Amino acid sequence: MDNSLTNRRSFIKKMAMLSAMAAAATMFPGIMFASEQEEGLPKGKDLDWKKTPCRFCGVGCGVLVGIENGKAVAVKGDPKSPVNKGLCCVKGYHSVISIYGKDRLTHPWVKKNGKYVKTTMKEALDLIASKMQTTIKEHGKDSVSIYGSGQWTIPDGYVASKLFKGCIGTNNVEANARLCMASAVTGFMTSFGIDEPMGCYDDIDHANAFILWGNNMAEMHPVLFSRILDQRQKRGVKIIDFATRTTRTSMASDKSIIFKPQTDLAVANAICYEIINNGWVNKSFVEKHCNFKKGLTDMGYGLEDNYKFKDKPEGINFEEFKTFLEDYSPEKVEKLSGVSAKDIKYMAAYYGDPNVKVMSLWCMGPNQHTRGTWMNNLIYNIHLLTGKISTPGNSPFSLTGQPSACGTVREVGTLTHKLPHGVVMNKKHREHAAHIWDVPVENIPSKPTYHTVEMFRALDRGDIRFMWIQVTNPMVTMPKLKRYRDATKKEGRFIVVSDIYPTPTTDIADVILPSAMWIEREGMYGNSERRTQQFDQLIDPPGEAMSDTWQLVEVAKRLGFEKQFYYKEENHIEEIYNEYRRHHEGKKHNMAPYEVLKSQPGAQWPYVDGKSTKWRFNAEYDPACSNGKDFHFYGKPDGKAIIWQRPYEPAPEEPDNEYPFWLCTGRVIEHWHTGSMTRRIPVLHKAVPHAYVELNPEQAKQMQINTGDKVKLTSRRGSVVLPASVSERGVPVKNSVFVPFFDENLLINDITLDAFCPISKQPDYKKCAVKVEKV
Amino acid sequence: MPIKSYLAHPLEGKKTELIKAISDISQCEVIPAENEDVVIIVTETNTKDEEEKLKEQLEAIGSLKLLALVSGFNTPIK
């Protein structure tokens, strides 16, 4: 047989195999084959497969990384992981390639006379410590700050909080998770008095209907969406996509319902109206387990510097709540929202039917919202009124976007008002933290300082003089970006940036520290379902790259805190974790022992008597329930959850004659956040090489704009020119456009608005007004 | 020379047994799903008769519940 024939036969065999794989994928959504996963590997590879959570997104898939000769060469889904059951998304499969970009930062750089000079880690850390000392001496403790992220591992965030809050004595600790899930936190705190979802991903296997609130799961949480599609295949579950534009999720759903931006507030209230007026309220549940409250309204949008807001909750009764909802009949809300009364009733009927188990899922839509806390409250209202909560399949589930937004930012508490257990405003919580940290309690200030937007405003004003940024890229992600980029360039500011690649944020740094990435160091992440997942150091970091944890420990020692930062380099991660666990001791938040985390693909807190807790607040599953009833919302002193009266209020900036389009920003499946890692993965970069603006096809035709044409978007903050995308991935409704934010060369955040939810302080990246012009 | 691909569904709990049984047949390549109870079989035979016999042999495997043809190709011998 000649070579060409052999090649042809080999090709046909491959075709036959791919046809079968495609057929299998239709029958079993999310199905994976070993040969597909290992395709492209040279024959004879003798790989050592090691477990780790995935580096990207908040789903927290368990992956196995194949190591050969000290290099990570392959990834496959971990079949033992209860999160993804062997599945993996396109980012996960290619994740290890992002470790080996040609321009990895391997040595520190210090800016001298306007030029970056290569230096040693020792010199760079000495300089940072010395600069912090002089800044504190000249401008006070609150002039130094740290800004991290939901990609910080648990030990990274823990030592940052301990150093700044416990040792230095400033609450200037924030993280980019403020930009993505702060409203989820305040939603939980106001409704339940304790953070994070009561349910878990197992709810997917029990629910009959899935209502996605502004959540493009097919792209943002693809593995969980595959699990939902799998359930549709097996059990015929229904998927309803409730969104402001048509996406891949809409296309895969049973029903797509489009609403006008900001009117989700009204639609959620209309669903409550329907539940009450059709007699679908679970009266016994509500009487036993819920209180009703209302808060202040007309709060503003935080557009002014030093904006302050404090809610004043006030008890109301069921009748008052019912009267409030009279303004939200489906017929009235139809006019405001563009959602037909019939569709509102359709959604309400799923929630109202006692025989249907409903899972509500949301992420950035309700969270990046100037009334984000309210939106979270409203979704909980629906589940509380019907008693569809904390039982398998009945689950309001707030998803996260980053691998440890929950584990680090929310649980360790790397936000200005937070401590690992509790808040800085509470004396007992400060005493508890100070005791474990071995610092005088007076060290921890009792007042929060700056949330993220205000922290960058303080840098602009000069109230903050020193900022250390780790594992995040605010010079791409901050809203109204130009103001904050200019702030970093002002005289008398000193910026340290720890990262693995050059980014627009390292461009504004005075010191750049090379970080060890993901499996180049030991650590843990905590995902959306309260699952803490440990990973070992599997490979060596390049050059002098060092974990963010150890960078902070080294600086802490230089600042004179050797006693508090006693950790030994060889086992400091375990030591830090064991110390951290002490903050959460007790049945409500106990963390699994380190050896448990090492031995399995994660454990869910509260981890009590050797068991993860899957459904909190339900006495059948949660050992922390102690009121003798079937449910116990123990985050609140009286054990009851709160149903909040929260009205519809308009967005701070809506389209008008001058700026007639809504601008919504977001992500694409191929790229992780600002693309600093995924744009260095050739296959992902080729798939989506640059940002674009999605236009409504009919309007694009009227404006004679075709895909690829240059389009100028202008807001009151500035302009950006992008290539058009018409009838490609997503389809916006008329008078709205969508732009992904991953592209550092096309900075859409130069034109977004820095308005935020007054309660959560989370900015709204989904709504501002722009005009659209063909260039 | 026929090349065909099938989805083979094992009886409950018999996936490993099925994979082994198919792997023992020289004209078969087996690709198991990692996370579902299904395996792909790609067969390569010299003649149609041989192909028929192979199919009978596959269908006789005790751990097989269902064999579903997905694609079939014929290639010249030379």
In this prediction, residue A85 has a pLDDT band, given cuts at 50, 70 and 90, of: confident
Distance of CA A450 to the CA centre of its chain: 20
Per-residue model confidence (pLDDT) at position A388: 98
Q: Tell me whether B7 touches chain A (CB under 8 Å).
A: yes
CA angle, A399 then A764 then A263, to 5°: 85
The pLDDT of A33-62, averaged and rounded, is 75
Residues β-bridged to residue A665: A739
Answer yes or no: do A9 and B3 touch at CB < 8 A. Answer: yes
Distance of CA A592 to the CA centre of its chain: 23
Per-residue model confidence (pLDDT) at position A728: 86
Tokens of A43: 């024959």
- Residue in chain A nearest B71 by alpha carbon: A16
Per-residue model confidence (pLDDT) at position A2: 43
Per-residue model confidence (pLDDT) at position A175: 98
In this prediction, residue A26 has a pLDDT band, given cuts at 50, 70 and 90, of: low
d(CA A345, CA A332): 13
Strand ranges across the sheet with B64-74: B28-32, B39-44, B2-10, B64-74
Tokens of A46: 């003798």
Query: What percent of chain A has a predicted confidence (pLDDT) above 70?
Result: 96
Tokens of A41: 């590997």
- The answer for residues whose C-beta is within 8 angstroms of residue A408's C-beta and 6 or more apart is A148, A150, A152, A153, A154, A156, A157, A158, A175, A177, A414, A525, A526
The pLDDT of A411-419, averaged and rounded, is 97
Pick the CATH number of B2-74 from 3.30.450.20, 3.90.1310.10, 3.20.20.70, 3.30.70.920: 3.30.70.920
Q: Which of A32, A89, A180, A375 is catalytic?
A: A180
Q: Which of A51, A76, A85, A91 is catalytic?
A: A91
DSSP, collapsed to helix, strand or coil, labels residue A12 as helix
The answer on pLDDT for A5 being more than 80 is no
Distances in whole angstroms, Cα of residue B16 to Cα of each of A32, A339, B9: 16, 51, 11
Is A337 in contact with A268 (CB distance < 8 Å)?
A: no
Per-residue model confidence (pLDDT) at position A43: 47
Is A376 in contact with A184 (CB distance < 8 Å)?
A: yes
In this prediction, residue A6 has a pLDDT band, given cuts at 50, 70 and 90, of: low
The number of beta carbons lying within 10 Å of the beta carbon of residue A4 is 8
DSSP string computed for B5-65: EEEEEEPTT-HHHHHHHHHTSTTEEEEEBSSSS-EEEEEE-SSHHHHHHHHHHHHT-TTEE
Characterize the bridge pairing of strands A62-68 and A641-645: unpaired
A402 tagged catalytic = yes
CA distance A680 to chain B (A): 29
Per-residue model confidence (pLDDT) at position A19: 67
Answer yes or no: do A86 and B31 touch at CB < 8 A. Answer: no
- Residue in chain B nearest A33 by alpha carbon: B33
Average pLDDT of every residue of chain A: 94
Predicted confidence (pLDDT) per residue in A591-641, tens digit: 999 999 999 999 999 999 999 999 999 999 999 999 999 999 999 999 999
The number of beta carbons lying within 10 Å of the beta carbon of residue A328 is 23
Answer yes or no: do B4 and A16 touch at CB < 8 A. Answer: yes
Q: Is the ipTM of this complex over 0.90?
A: yes
The answer on pLDDT for A543 being more than 80 is yes
Residues of B in contact with A8 (CB under 8 A): 75
Instruction: Say which range, A427-441, A501-515, A646-660, B20-34, has the weakest mean pLDDT.
Output: B20-34
Predicted confidence (pLDDT) per residue in A122-135, tens digit: 999 999 999 999 99
Is A755 in contact with A711 (CB distance < 8 Å)?
A: no
Answer yes or no: do B34 and A16 touch at CB < 8 A. Answer: no
DSSP, collapsed to helix, strand or coil, labels residue A63 as strand
d(CA A449, CA A437): 21
Q: Which of A151, A262, A368, A402 is catalytic?
A: A402
In this prediction, residue B69 has a pLDDT band, given cuts at 50, 70 and 90, of: confident
Task: Pick the closest to residue A307 from A413, A453, A180 (CA basis).
Answer: A453
User: Higher model confidence: residue B40 or residue A686?
Assistant: B40
Is A124 in contact with A511 (CB distance < 8 Å)?
A: yes
Is B54 in contact with B29 (CB distance < 8 Å)?
A: no
- Residue in chain B nearest A20 by alpha carbon: B70
The answer on pLDDT for A42 being more than 50 is no
- Which residue type, as a one-letter code, is found at position A323? T
* Cis peptide bond prior to A660, omega within 30° of 0: no
Residue from the list A23, A32, A76 with its beta carbon closest to the beta carbon of B70: A23
- The answer for residues whose C-beta is within 8 angstroms of residue A210's C-beta and 6 or more apart is A204, A228, A237, A238, A239, A240, A358, A359, A360, A361
Per-residue model confidence (pLDDT) at position A419: 98
Q: Which of A88, A121, A181, A217 is catalytic?
A: A181
C-alpha atoms less than 13 angstroms from C-alpha of A729 in its C-beta half-sphere: 20
Distance of CA A59 to the CA centre of its chain: 10
The answer on pLDDT for A44 being more than 50 is no
Match 């005791």 to its residue by tokens.
A435
Answer yes or no: do B7 and A27 touch at CB < 8 A. Answer: yes
- Residue in chain A nearest B73 by alpha carbon: A12
In this prediction, residue A25 has a pLDDT band, given cuts at 50, 70 and 90, of: low
Query: For chain A, what is the total number of helices (H) and then of strands (E)?
Result: 25, 31
Is A191 in contact with A221 (CB distance < 8 Å)?
A: no
The number of beta carbons lying within 10 Å of the beta carbon of residue A587 is 16
Measured distance between the N- and C-terminal CA atoms of chain A, rounded to whole angstroms: 58
Residues of B in contact with A79 (CB under 8 A): 34-35
Residue from the list A16, A20, A37 with its beta carbon closest to the beta carbon of B73: A16
The pLDDT of A69-90, averaged and rounded, is 87
User: What is the greatest pairwise CA distance in chain A?
Assistant: 85
- Which residue type, as a one-letter code, is found at position B39? V
Is A148 in contact with A337 (CB distance < 8 Å)?
A: no
Q: Name the interface residues of A facing B (CB cutoff 8 Å).
A: 1-2, 5, 8-9, 12-13, 15-17, 19-21, 23-24, 27-28, 30-37, 76-77, 79, 85-87
Per-residue model confidence (pLDDT) at position A4: 52
- The answer for residues whose C-beta is within 8 angstroms of residue A113's C-beta and 6 or more apart is none
Is A86 in contact with B34 (CB distance < 8 Å)?
A: yes
d(CA B34, CA A75): 14
- Domain regions of chain B by residue span: 2-74
Per-residue model confidence (pLDDT) at position A8: 64
Strand ranges (DSSP E) for A101-231? 109-112, 115-118, 144-148, 173-175, 209-213
The answer on pLDDT for A38 being more than 50 is no
Per-residue model confidence (pLDDT) at position A399: 97
Distances in whole angstroms, Cα of residue A433 to Cα of each of A412, A439, A565, A583: 11, 9, 15, 7
> For testing the chain A interface, which of B71, B75, B77, B78 should be mutated: the one with the most A CBs within 10 Å?
B71
Q: Tell me whether B33 touches chain A (CB under 8 Å).
A: yes
The number of beta carbons lying within 10 Å of the beta carbon of residue B24 is 10
Is A446 in contact with A431 (CB distance < 8 Å)?
A: no
- The answer for residues whose C-beta is within 8 angstroms of residue A62's C-beta and 6 or more apart is A51, A52, A53, A54, A77, A78, A80, A81, A83, A84, A533, A601, A602
Predicted confidence (pLDDT) per residue in A737-769, tens digit: 999 999 999 999 999 999 999 999 999 999 999
Answer yes or no: do B38 and A27 touch at CB < 8 A. Answer: yes
Residue from the list A2, A13, A79 with its beta carbon closest to the beta carbon of B34: A79
Burial class (CB in 10 A: 0-12, 13-18, 19+), A775: exposed
Answer yes or no: do A24 and B7 touch at CB < 8 A. Answer: yes
φ/ψ (deg, to 5) at A218: -60, -30
- Residue A42 DSSP symbol: P
Per-residue model confidence (pLDDT) at position A14: 73
Match 């200019």 to its residue by tokens.
A486
The answer on pLDDT for A23 being more than 70 is no
Distance of CA A603 to the CA centre of its chain: 20
- Which residue type, as a one-letter code, is found at position A229? L
- Residue A165 DSSP symbol: I
Predicted confidence (pLDDT) per residue in B44-63, tens digit: 998 888 988 998 899 899 99
For the whole model, what pTM was predicted?
A: 0.87
Tokens of A109: 């750089």
In this prediction, residue A36 has a pLDDT band, given cuts at 50, 70 and 90, of: low
Residues of B in contact with A32 (CB under 8 A): 33-35
DSSP string computed for A304-358: STT-------EEE-HHHHHHHGGGG-HHHHHHHHS--HHHHHHHHHHHH-TT--E
Distances in whole angstroms, Cα of residue A768 to Cα of each of A16, A77, A479, A735: 50, 39, 11, 12
Per-residue model confidence (pLDDT) at position B34: 83
Answer yes or no: do B38 and A9 touch at CB < 8 A. Answer: no
- The answer for residues whose C-beta is within 8 angstroms of residue A572's C-beta and 6 or more apart is A155, A549, A550, A553
Is A151 in contact with A500 (CB distance < 8 Å)?
A: no
Is A408 in contact with A153 (CB distance < 8 Å)?
A: yes
The number of beta carbons lying within 10 Å of the beta carbon of residue A300 is 14
A364 tagged catalytic = yes
Task: Pick the closest to residue A157 from A580, A563, A491 (CA basis).
Answer: A580
Sign (positive or negative) of CA dihedral A166, A125, A674, A67: negative
Instruction: Say which range, A64-73, A390-399, A603-612, has the weakest mean pLDDT.
Output: A64-73
The pLDDT of A108-117, averaged and rounded, is 96
CA distance A30 to chain B (A): 9
Task: Pick the closest to residue A337 from A328, A348, A350 (CA basis).
Answer: A328
Match 């596959």 to its residue by tokens.
B58
